[in-house]
């Protein structure tokens, strides 16, 4: 260490005597860092020696162990020493089952705060079994299979971005030096050991984002922060525009925790660019019920069982360039049928009548006919194109559509 100090003094004299090149300045900067690291290591050694000496003296008087339990780690030792002074037990002294029961009753915000107490609590509080319930309770109604796939893609792209940043000029060295600084400081000040590098490299922002990994906690916090855009569907898009009443369209959503609403981003189609909508309420968002892409025809598997009175959703789009939206309707009676329950034979016909009663009688959008045996995309540029059909079996889905029913009949 003395040799390193002498070299540093010599370099400083050279620096003051004449102008230095960029390489010399980088050398001096690196030398300063190495000197400080060595000094921190020296202080850490003195701290450990002092701790052992104090522990030995305590053992002689009170027959207590020299070091705290290995499971407690440094942060636990700090808590334990504080509890010895006050005479109060520590949470970490409780049985594992009791700690798990306590953590399972904490809300997400408190669970996240507990994860910052010490290393031992951090590992416990990040368990997937604790966060899966919170994930299901808050986001289960808006997240589907597509959102899970998008999350995996999001993690992969973030890992690739971190790798590219590490391979850039000075990126890997800077990250390595950062970890070395934290490791050295943690020997002198255990609180530093709780610090973790940010997933975005620590770029200046208003607040540090959640650490990105494949844990459920990371997914929850990314959803809560609004950094993650996930695929879902929105009822009555664009603030209930009359052209989209009683429909549900695909969109990418991001949560806004300030207003407890979502921001929707609808994909471009035709001559229209990306459309943004703010303030989307929770009751207008749902997870996609099927995995069919918005531009693909849904394979209908319910045509043979459709009969008058059934509630359905059908794909519809304005033209071939537009994505499909899901529109609510009911199965009606043929013109030749009087609607009698005992004499109706509509379910035996190859033609299925679909009625959209939100439109006035006589409107071209009021009714559509589809072939039960050979149903494909049907329509024209004037009336639009009808696609796949899905029958609604859930009372919750049917009730949702009835809640969205317009106050005035559409033209």
Q: Which of 68-82, 284-298, 353-367, 393-407 has the lowest mean pLDDT?
A: 68-82
Q: Which of 180-194, 217-231, 262-276, 301-315 has the lowest mean pLDDT?
A: 180-194
Same domain, 217 and 264: yes
Question: 193 or 43: whose pLDDT is higher?
Answer: 43
| 105 within domain boundaries | yes
| 80 within domain boundaries | no
Could you read off the pLDDT of 359-408 as tens digits, one per residue? 998 898 899 999 998 888 988 888 899 999 999 999 999 999 999 998 88
Could you read off the pLDDT of 10-28 as tens digits, one per residue? 666 655 555 555 556 665 6
Same domain, 323 and 393: yes
| 57 within domain boundaries | no
Same domain, 262 and 153: yes
Question: Which CB contacts under 8 angstroms, 24+ apart, belong to 1-4?
Answer: 1/38, 1/39, 1/42, 4/31, 4/34, 4/35, 4/38
| 22 within domain boundaries | no
Same domain, 146 and 227: yes
Listed residues 258, 288, 318: the one ending a domain: 288
Question: What mean pLDDT do residues 211-236 have?
Answer: 91
Domain extent for 116: 94-126
Question: What mean pLDDT do residues 258-263 have?
Answer: 96
| 1 within domain boundaries | no
Same domain, 223 and 267: yes
Same domain, 385 and 348: yes
Q: Which of 50-54, 153-157, 264-268, 292-296 has the lowest mean pLDDT?
A: 50-54
| 50 within domain boundaries | no
Same domain, 240 and 376: no
Question: 392 or 239: whose pLDDT is higher?
Answer: 392
Question: 67 or 382: whose pLDDT is higher?
Answer: 382
- pTM over cut 0.75: no
Same domain, 120 and 230: no
Same domain, 326 and 380: yes
Listed residues 253, 288, 323: the one ending a domain: 288
Question: What mean pLDDT do residues 108-132 have?
Answer: 87
Same domain, 266 and 235: yes
Same domain, 348 and 378: yes
pLDDT of residue 387: 94
Question: What mean pLDDT do residues 314-336 have?
Answer: 93
Q: Round the average pLDDT of the chain to a whole number and report it.
A: 77
| 303 within domain boundaries | no
| 228 within domain boundaries | yes
Query: How many domains does one find in the chain?
Result: 3
Same domain, 329 and 394: yes
């Amino acid at each position: 260490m003395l040799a390193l100090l002498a070299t540093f003094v010599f370099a400083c004299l050279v620096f003051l005597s004449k102008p230095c090149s960029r390489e010399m300045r980088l050398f001096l900067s690196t030398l300063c860092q190495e000197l400080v690291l060595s000094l921190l290591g020296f202080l850490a050694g003195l701290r450990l020696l002092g701790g052992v000496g104090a522990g030995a003296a305590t053992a002689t008087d009170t027959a207590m162990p020299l070091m705290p339990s290995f499971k407690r780690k440094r942060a636990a030792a700090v808590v334990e020493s504080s509890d010895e002074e006050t005479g109060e037990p520590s949470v970490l002294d409780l049985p594992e089952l009791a700690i798990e029961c306590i953590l399972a009753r904490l809300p997400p915000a408190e669970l996240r705060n507990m994860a910052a107490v010490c290393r031992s609590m951090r590992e416990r509080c990040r368990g997937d079994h604790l966060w899966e319930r919170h994930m299901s309770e808050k986001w289960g109604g808006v997240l589907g299979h597509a959102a899970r796939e998008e999350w995996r893609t999001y993690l992969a792209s973030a890992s690739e971005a971190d790798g590219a940043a590490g391979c850039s000029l000075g990126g890997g060295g800077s990250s390595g030096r950062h970890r070395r600084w934290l490791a050295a400081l943690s020997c002198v000040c255990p609180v530093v050991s709780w610090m973790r590098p940010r997933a975005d490299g620590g770029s200046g922002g208003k607040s540090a984002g959640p650490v990105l990994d494949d844990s459920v906690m990371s997914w929850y916090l990314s959803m809560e922060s609004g950094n993650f855009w996930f695929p879902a569907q929105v009822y009555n898009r664009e603030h209930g525009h009359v052209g989209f009443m009683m429909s549900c369209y695909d969109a990418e959503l991001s949560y806004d925790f300030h207003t407890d609403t979502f921001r929707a981003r609808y994909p471009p189609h035709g001559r229209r660019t990306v459309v943004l909508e703010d303030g989307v309420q929770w009751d207008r968002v749902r997870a996609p019920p099927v995995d069919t892409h918005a531009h693909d025809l849904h394979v209908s598997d319910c045509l043979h069982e459709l009969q008058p009175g059934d509630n359905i959703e059908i794909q519809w789009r304005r033209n071939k360039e537009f994505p499909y939206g899901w529109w609510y309707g009911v199965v009606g009676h043929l013109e030749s049928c009087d609607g009698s329950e005992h004499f109706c034979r509509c379910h035996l016909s190859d033609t299925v009548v679909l009625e959209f009663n939100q439109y006035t009688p006589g409107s071209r959008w009021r009714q559509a006919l589809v072939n039960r045996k050979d149903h494909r995309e049907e329509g024209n540029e004037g009336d639009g194109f009808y696609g796949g059909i899905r029958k609604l079996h859930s009372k919750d889905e049917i009730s949702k559509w009835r809640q969205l029913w317009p106050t005035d009949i559409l033209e």
